[in-house]
Amino acid sequence: MYCKQRKLIFIFLLFALCIYGQQEFSNPIIKGGYPDPSICKVDDTFYIVNSSFEYFPGLPIHKSKDLINWDLIGYGLHQESQVNSVVNLIDVQSDGGIHAPTIRYNNGTFYIISTNVYFDEKKQKAEMINFIITAKNPEGPWSEPKHILDAPGIDPDLFFDDDGRVWYVGNQQPEDPNFDGEGEIWVQEIDLQKFVLVGERHLLWRGACGGVWAEGPHMYKKDSKYYLLIAEGGTSFNHAVMVALSDKIEGPYISNPRNPILTSRNLSYDNWVNSTGHGDIVRLDDGRYYMVLLGIRNEIERGSNMGRETFIVPVSWEREPYDWKKIKYLWPVVAPETGRVELQNQLIFDNSNKIISNGFIDDFNSEILNLNWNFRRFPMNNIFQIDSKKGLLNLFCNKNIIKERGRAALMGFKQTETSFEYRAKMFFNPKDEGSEAGVSMFQKDNNYINFTLIKQNDNILVQINAIKDGVLEDSFVSEINNYKGQIEFKVTASKSKYELSYSLNGKEFIFVKSLDYSIIKSNGYTGAHLGVYASGNGQISNDYASFDYVNYLIKTK
Q: Which of 36, 54, 436, 445 is catalytic?
A: 36
CB hemisphere CA count around 187 (13 angstroms): 25
What CA–CA distances, in Å, run from 27 to 32, 355, 367? 12, 13, 34
Q: Which of 66, 215, 309, 548 is catalytic?
A: 215
3-state DSSP call for residue 8?
helix
Residues 245, 329 contacting (CB under 8 angstroms): yes
Report the alpha-carbon distance of residue 516 to residue 296 in Å, rounded.
20
Cβ-contact 149, 201 below 8 angstroms: no
Q: Provide the greatest CA pair distance for the chain.
A: 84
Q: Indicate if 280 belongs to the active site.
A: no
Active site (annotated) includes residue 36: yes
CB atoms within 10 A of CB 248: 10
DSSP code per residue over 40-57: EEETTEEEEE---BTEES
Cβ contacts of residue 13 below 8 Å, gap of 6+? 356, 358
**What b/e string do you get for 218-245 counting C-beta neighbours within 10 Å, with b at 16 or more?**
bbbeeeeebbbbbbbbebebbbbbbbbb
Helix (H, G, I), strand (E, B) or coil at 19: helix
CB-CB contact of 235 with 309 (8 Å): no
8 Å CB contact between 409 and 400: yes
Alpha helical stretches, state H, 28-119: none
Other beta carbons less than 10 A from residue 486's beta carbon:
16
Closest CA to 250 of 181, 161, 324, 316: 161
Q: Which of 117, 71, 552, 39 is nearest to 294 (CA)?
A: 39
**What is the distance between the terminal CA atoms of the chain, rounded to a whole angstrom?**
26
Q: Is the peptide bond before 141 cis (omega within 30 degrees of 0)?
A: yes
CB atoms under 10 Å from CB of 434, counted, come to 17
Whether residue 262 contacts residue 241, with contact meaning beta carbons closer than 8 Å, is answered with: yes
Query: Does the CA dihedral 120-123-128-134 come out positive or negative?
Result: negative
Helix (H, G, I), strand (E, B) or coil at 418: coil
What are the counts of helices (DSSP H) followed by strands (DSSP E) for the chain? 1, 39
Query: At 172, is the secondary structure helix, strand, or coil?
Result: strand
- Cβ atoms of 46 and 39 closer than 8 Å: yes
Q: CA-CA distance, 480 to 219, in Å (whole number)?
A: 60
Q: Which sequence positions are flagged as catalytic?
A: 36, 215
